[in-house]
Amino acid sequence: MAKKKDSKVNEIKLTEKEKKQIKENIMDEIKDDLTVELSKSLVNEVNKSFDVDYKEELKSRISDEISDNIKSDFEKEEKRKVRGKNFKIFRLYLYIIILLCIIGFVFYKMYKTDNLDIIGIKKLGHSNINITTLPTTEEDNKKAKLLEKYKDILANVKIKNTYYINGNILVDNLTTQEKFALAYNTLSEKDIEKDGSFYTLESTKLENAYKNLFGLDDYQAMDFSSDGKDFKYSAKTNYYLALNETETDNVDVIMNIESIDENDEYVYVDVITAIRKGDFIYSKDNLNASVTKYKDTLDLSQFKNKLTTNRVVFKKSLNNTYLYAIY
C-alpha cells in the first residue's frame, strides 16, 4: 500500500519583524497611490478654480479696456464734432460780417451819389425827414473859412519862455512885467536900437505892441525883463535901456494851428506846440531829446504824438482880436 502524502503543505514561517516590514511596505504603496490621486485631484480642482477666476478677471479686464476705448473714441468724436461746429459758426459769422460790410459800403456809395431813392430811402436833410444834419462838406467849408479868416491870428503871439505854455495862463492874472515881456517879443529888430551890448527901446513902441496884443489901455512904463535882457525905464528920455545881457534858457515856441472855433465873444485856436532850440525842435516835456530837425516848412502835425498841444484864446473886440488866455 502506497504511502499517503502529507496533506499539510510546508508553510513558510515569517518572523514578526518580517511581517511588520511587509505590512509597512504595503501601507507605503497604498499611501503613495492615494497621495498621487489626491494630488491630481487637488491640482485639477485648483486648475479649474484658477481657470474660472482667470477667465473672469480676463473678461473683466477686456470689458474695461473695451469700455475705455469706446469712451475715448466717443470723446474724440465729440471734440471733433464740436470743433467742426465752432468752425462752421465762426465761418458763418465771418460771412455775415463780410456781407454787412459790402452792404454798408454799397449804401455809403449810394448815399454819397444821391442814389438812395432808388431803393426808396431818402437822404438825410430831405423835406420828408424831421432830423436835419449839417453835411460833412458844409462842416469842412466852415472849418476852412475859419482857418482862412484867422490864419494870421498867431502872428502877434511870440513866446520865448516855456512858462507861458504850461497851461492856465490868463492875461488878467499876469503881472505888468510879464505882459511887457510878451509884448516885447512881438517887436521887430528895427524897433530896437543896438549899440554894442546896450539896447534902447522907445517907450511908445512898446506901448503900441502892448495895446495891439492885449487890447488894453492901462499901459504905464516900468522896468521889465525879456529875452535875456533887463530893461530899465528912463522917464527923462521916455526910453528903455538894457544895461546888460544875461544868459538864459529862453527858447522859441512854435505853434501850428490844428483847428479853430469861435462864438460871439471868443476865438478858440487849438495848436500843436514845439520848442525850437538851434536847428532842432523839442517837446516842452523833454528838452534833452530832439524830435526832428527844424525847417521853415515843417508840419508839426506829423509829430503830434511826440509833442504837446495848447489852446490859445482870443477875445473879440469890434474888428480885432486880443490875446485872452493860453491853456
Residue-by-residue pLDDT tens, the chain, 327 positions = 444 444 444 556 678 877 778 877 777 777 667 677 766 776 676 666 656 666 666 667 666 766 676 667 667 777 777 777 777 888 888 889 998 888 887 777 666 555 555 555 544 443 333 434 455 688 888 888 999 999 999 999 999 999 999 988 999 999 999 999 999 999 999 999 988 888 999 999 999 999 999 999 999 999 999 888 899 999 999 999 997 666 565 689 999 999 999 999 999 999 999 999 989 999 999 999 999 999 988 999 999 999 999 999 999 998 899 999 999
DSSP state of 277: E
CA distance 59 to 51: 12
Contacts of 294 (CB under 8 A, 6+ apart): 276, 278, 279, 280, 281
β-pair type (224-226, 292-293): unpaired
Query: Residue 27 has what pLDDT?
Result: 75
Q: Report if pTM > 0.75.
A: no
Query: Residue 246 has what pLDDT?
Result: 61
CA distance 119 to 111: 11
Query: Residue 312 has what pLDDT?
Result: 97
Judged by DSSP in three states, 192 sits in strand
Q: Phi then psi for 211, rounded to 5 degrees?
A: -70, -40
DSSP, residue by residue, 53-99? HHHHHHHHHHHHHHHHHHHHHHHHHHHHHHHHHHHHHHHHHHHHHHH
Element (H, E) at 178: helix 176-185
One-letter amino acid for residue 213 of the chain: L
* Spatial CA neighbour of 309 closest among 292, 286, 294, 326: 326
CA distance 311 to 271: 6
Grid cell, residue 86, equals 465752432
DSSP, residue by residue, 96-144? HHHHHHHHHHHHHHHHHTT-GGGGT-PPTTSTT-S-----HHHHHHHHH
* Spatial CA neighbour of 182 closest among 322, 12, 16: 322
Query: Residue 130 has what pLDDT?
Result: 40
Neighbour tally for 262: CB within 10 Å:
15
